[in-house]
Amino acid sequence: MVDAALLETVKKMFASGLDEEAVRSALEDLGLSKAEQDELIAAAKGKEVPKEEVPVEKIAEKTAEKVKEHIAEHEEVAALRETTALAELGAQKAEIGEVKEAIAKIPASLEKNILELKKDIDELKAASNAIQTLLKKILETNRNILLKLKK
């Protein structure tokens, strides 16, 4: 970024007739880098700043670094996904085990209930038969009483 006051100074230097070498020397004395000098001189002359050519090796290096970073991030994410998936599988396995145990208990519980129901039904049949026998005896006794009363 070009400093406005410094830019005006450089413009005045060129306007007073100084050549580019003298201006560069003055800017160097101020501690400006070559890139900063180029930027100021170009801005003072109303030209576009010449861009530095970056060597292909530097571009390849930076690209390789970015690719390595991306791969490392991807590996971290993959490891996290794997850990999460394994944890979830473990939880599901435990839950399936609990369900299997509960299902295994059902037949024993049902069998016990069925046996109790059979016992209750047998008792009800016996009670029903006893009541039916009593009612038959009562009816027969009543019939006998009525027959004796009729005679």
| 133 belongs to a structural domain | no
Provide the pLDDT for residue 5.
Answer: 87
Within 10 Å of residue 37's Cβ, how many Cβ atoms? 19
| 116 belongs to a structural domain | no
In the numeric block, which tokens belong to residue 40?
């100021």
Provide the pLDDT for residue 1.
Answer: 62
For 43-56, what is each residue's pLDDT tens digit? 888 876 555 566 78
Provide the pLDDT for residue 47.
Answer: 77
In the numeric block, which tokens belong to residue 142?
């009543």
| 38 belongs to a structural domain | yes
Residues of the chain with pLDDT under 50: none
| 69 belongs to a structural domain | no
| 36 belongs to a structural domain | yes
Within 10 Å of residue 79's Cβ, how many Cβ atoms? 10
23: containing domain: 4-52
Contacts of 45 (CB under 8 A, 6+ apart): 14
Largest Cα span, the chain: 165
| 13 belongs to a structural domain | yes
Number of domains in the chain: 1
For residue 19, the Cα-to-chain-centroid distance in whole angstroms is 65
For 95-115, what is each residue's pLDDT tens digit? 999 999 888 888 877 888 899
Within 10 Å of residue 118's Cβ, how many Cβ atoms? 10
Contacts of 23 (CB under 8 A, 6+ apart): 10, 13, 14, 41, 44
For residue 109, the Cα-to-chain-centroid distance in whole angstroms is 41
| 98 belongs to a structural domain | no
| 22 belongs to a structural domain | yes
